[in-house]
Amino acid sequence: MITDSDHLMFANVYMPGLDKAKAVTDILLLPDTVAFWDDYRHTKMIPLMTKQGQGSVQGASNYKLGEFTWVDYAPKEIKDWFENHVFPWAGTRARVMALITQPGTSNYEHIDCETHELNTQQHKFRIVLQGRTDTLYFKTTVGDIPAPNIDGAFIMDGGWPHGMTNTGTEVKITLAMGAPWIGNPTYSNIDILMDRRQYSMPADLTKFWKTP
């Protein structure tokens, strides 16, 4: 069945599994020098695929000239999964980051697009390697709505204000693929678990674009 993507807020993606335990081990073995602190989201980031394969903060921008390539320290388990399954499904390569959030730490509530892109398709592909997906929540007029807890990959609407608090006892590790990929017009292998039409954004969105 082909699924229209217009109303997608959170969706399960049916895709061959990744060896999460191996991926977690590989990520945690990387030196701190390859990571940088992102003030906008209040989390540690490790670039894995970037323009020209640049690491650390130099590789964070997707606007640089050049092709997207893997950084030289990217774990093979993760590279193979993206090359064999994710990129063919998405139809393109894009920036891939590992997001690292310590126990008891919150990501700042934010919107993953520019102000002029609000209410346009802004899908982000993610898979939580360690931790729970329902620590992610969306801001609405009726309060914070948690995402469903699932084990596999998912798509979320990055253009909706959202945040995350790692309530677990272990570091949360998430692989995130985003810009310049902003989603596909239709999907044939997803299950929409949250529909945008069921919720309304808060009236004042200005604070979600400010770096605290």
The DSSP annotation for 88-142 comes to: HHHTS---EEEEEE-TT-EEEEE-SS-GGGTTS--EEEEEEEES-GGGEEEEETT
The model's pLDDT over 31-42, given as tens digits with 9 standing for 90+, comes to 989 998 887 777
Q: What's the predicted TM-score (pTM) here?
A: 0.91
Average pLDDT, rounded, for the chain: 89
Residue 4 DSSP symbol = E
Output the DSSP codes for 53-91.
T--GGGG--S-SSS-EEE-TT--HHHHHHIIIIIHHHHT
Q: Which two tokens stand for residue 191?
A: 């299950």
Q: What is the mean pLDDT of residues 154-174?
A: 95
Q: Which two tokens stand for residue 79?
A: 């590279």
Output the DSSP codes for 144-206.
EEEPP--SS-EEEETTS-EEEE--SSS-EEEEEE-TT----SEESSEEEEEEGGG----S--G
The model's pLDDT over 46-69, given as tens digits with 9 standing for 90+, comes to 999 998 656 555 556 665 656 889
Question: Worst-scoring range by mean pLDDT, 9-18, 32-41, 144-153?
Answer: 32-41
Q: Which two tokens stand for residue 28?
A: 């945690």
- Residue 53 φ then ψ, to 5°: 65, 30
Q: Which two tokens stand for residue 195?
A: 């529909």
pLDDT (0 to 100) of residue 163: 94
What domains sit in the chain, N to C, each tagged with a CATH number?
3-202 (2.60.120.10)
Q: Is the pLDDT of residue 212 over 50?
A: no
Peptide bond connecting 88 to the previous residue in cis, omega within 30 degrees of 0:
no
Residue 1 DSSP symbol = -
Sorting pLDDT into bands at 50, 70 and 90, what band is 2? low
The answer to whether 37 touches 56, Cβ cutoff 8 Å, is no
